[in-house]
A and B are shown apart, each in its own frame.
Chain A
Amino acid sequence: MSHRLDGKGRLIDRSKQLRFTFNGKSMTGYEGDTLASALLGAGQSVMGRSFKYHRPRGVVAAGVEEPNALMNLGRGGRFEPNQRATTTPLFDGLTATSQNHWPSLDFDVGAVNDMAARFLPAGFYYKTFMFPRFAWKHVFEPFIRKSAGLGQSPTEPDADRYEHAYHHTDVLVIGGGVAGLTAARAAGAGGAKVMVLEQTAHWGGRAPVDGGEIDGTDPETWVNSAVEGLENAQNVTLRPNCMGAGVYDHGYVLGYERVAETTPGDGRPRHRLWRIRAKQIVTATGAIERPLSFPGNDVPGVMLASAVRDYVVNWGVAPGKRTVIVTNNDDAYLTALALKAAKLEVPAIIDVRPTLMGPLAEKARKAGIRLMSGKALVGVKGKKGVTAVMVSDLEGKASPEAIDCDCVAMSGGWSPVVHLWSHCGGKLTWDDHEAIFKPDPTRPPLGADGQAFVATAGNASGAMGLAEALADGHEVGRQAAKAAGGTLTRKAAPKAAETERQPIKQVWIMPTSAGPDKRMKMWLDYQNDVKGSDVQLAAQEGYQSVEHAKRYTTLGMATDQGKLSNINGLAVLSDALGQPIPQTGTTTFRPPYTPISMGAIAGEARGPLFQPIRRTPMHALHETAGAVWEPVGHWRRPFCFARTGESDHEAVNREIVNTRENVGMLDASTLGKILVTGPDAGKFLDMLYTNMMSTLPVGKCRYGLMCSENGFLSDDGVVARIDEQTWLCHTTTGGADRIHGHMEDWLQCEWWDWKVYTANLTEQYAQVAVAGPKARKVLEALGGMDVSKEAMPFMTWHDGTLADIPARVFRISFTGELSYEIAVPANRGAELWEKVREAGAEHGIQPYGTEAMHIMRAEKGFIMIGDETDGTVIPQDLGLHWAISKKKEDYLGKRAQERSFMASPDRWQLVGLQTLDGSVIPDGAYAVGEGRNANGQRNTIGRVTSTYYSPTIRKGIAMGLIHEGPQRMGEVVDFATLDGTGTVIKAKIVDTCFYDKEGAKADV
Chain B
Amino acid sequence: MSKAVSALNGATVTGFARVTDTGCRGMITLRGAPEVLTRVATAIGLPTPDTLHMATKEGLAVGWMSPDELLVLCPYEDAPALAETARGAAGKDHALVAVVSDARAVIRVEGEKADEVLRKLTPANLDAFEPGMIRRTRLAQAAGAFWKPDANGFEVMCFRSEAEYVFGLLENAAQKGAELGL
Question: B-contacting residues of A (Cβ < 8 Å)?
Answer: 161, 163-168, 193, 237, 259, 266-269, 275, 277, 603-605, 608-609, 611-617, 634-635, 675, 677-679, 755, 757-759, 761-766, 825-828, 830-831
Contact = CB atoms under 8 A, between A and B. Distances in A.
B102 A826 contact: yes
B151 interface: no
Given A609-B172, A612-B142, A761 B161 contact: no
Contacts of A616: 161
Contact of A826 (B94, B160, B175): B160
A259 B178 CA distance: 9
Contacts of A611: 141
B7 interface: yes
B46 interface: no
B57 interface: no
11 contacts: A161-B172, A164-B120, A166-B126, A609-B165, A757-B95, A758-B96, A761-B100, A827-B5, A827-B6, A827-B101, A827-B102
A964 B4 CA distance: 54
A424 to B, nearest CB: 19
Nearest to B3: A831
Interface in B123-176: 123-128, 140-142, 159-166, 168-169, 172-173, 175-176
Contact of A827 (B4, B98, B127, B175): B4
Contact of A679 (B6, B94, B177): B94
A592 B32 CA distance: 47
A891 B57 CA distance: 46
B165 A613 contact: yes
Nearest to A609: B168
Nearest to A167: B119
B24 interface: yes
A617 B161 CA distance: 8
Contacts of A613: 164-165
Contact of A761 (B32, B103, B141, B169): B103
A825 B4 contact: yes
B98 A635 contact: no
A237 B116 CA distance: 15
A267 B159 contact: no
Contacts of B95: 757
Contacts of B22: none
A138 B159 CA distance: 52
Nearest to A726: B96
A448 to B, nearest CB: 17
B20 interface: no
Contacts of B122: 166
Contacts of A277: 123, 125
A752 to B, nearest CB: 11
B81 interface: no
Contacts of B7: 615, 617, 826-827
Given A757-B95, A761-B98, A831-B5, A275 B123 contact: yes
A766 to B, nearest CB: 8
B120 A165 contact: yes
A168 B140 contact: no
5 closest A-B pairs by beta carbon, nearest first, are A827-B4, A757-B96, A614-B161, A826-B102, A763-B103
A267 B165 contact: no
Contacts of A761: 98, 100, 103
A703 B31 CA distance: 27
B89 interface: no
B29 to A, nearest CB: 5
Contact of A759 (B5, B96, B141): B96
Contact of A609 (B76, B98, B100, B169): B169
Nearest to B31: A757
A679 B92 CA distance: 10
Contacts of A167: 119, 182
A675 B101 contact: no
B176 A267 contact: yes
B28 to A, nearest CB: 10
Given A166-B119, A269-B178, A759-B96, 7 more contacts: A165-B180, A193-B127, A268-B177, A608-B168, A613-B165, A614-B162, A764-B100
Contacts of B166: 612
Contacts of B53: none
B161 A828 contact: no
Best-surrounded residue of A617, A758, A761, A825 (most CB of chain B within 10 A): A825
B113 interface: no
Contact of A163 (B141, B160, B173): B173
Contacts of B142: 612
A759 B98 contact: yes
B67 to A, nearest CB: 11
B103 A828 contact: no
B44 interface: no
Nearest to B182: A237
Contacts of A766: 102
A755 B94 contact: yes
B165 A762 contact: no
A601 to B, nearest CB: 13
A828 B98 contact: no
A765 B94 contact: no
B4 A604 contact: no
Contacts of B128: 168
A761 to B, nearest CB: 6
Given A268-B178, A608-B168, A764-B102, A168 B4 contact: no
Contact of A612 (B24, B31, B104, B165): B165
B99 interface: yes
A222 to B, nearest CB: 25
Contacts of B6: 827
B162 to A, nearest CB: 5
A161 B173 CA distance: 11
A825 B125 contact: no
Contacts of A765: 102
Interface string B98-119: 1111111000000000000001
B161 A825 contact: no
B145 to A, nearest CB: 14
Given A164-B120, A166-B122, A609-B172, A764 B99 contact: yes
A609 B120 CA distance: 14
B161 A615 contact: yes
A821 B164 CA distance: 26
A828 B168 contact: no
Nearest to B176: A267
Interface string B1-16: 0111111000000000
Contacts of A614: 159, 161-162
Contacts of B182: 167, 237
A999 to B, nearest CB: 33
A758 B128 CA distance: 31
Contacts of B163: 615
B100 A759 contact: yes
A825 B180 contact: no
Contacts of B141: 605, 611-612
A309 to B, nearest CB: 33
A163 B179 CA distance: 11
In this complex, which of A268, A612, A615 has the most chain B Cβ atoms within 10 angstroms of its Cβ? A612
A711 to B, nearest CB: 30
A616 B2 CA distance: 19
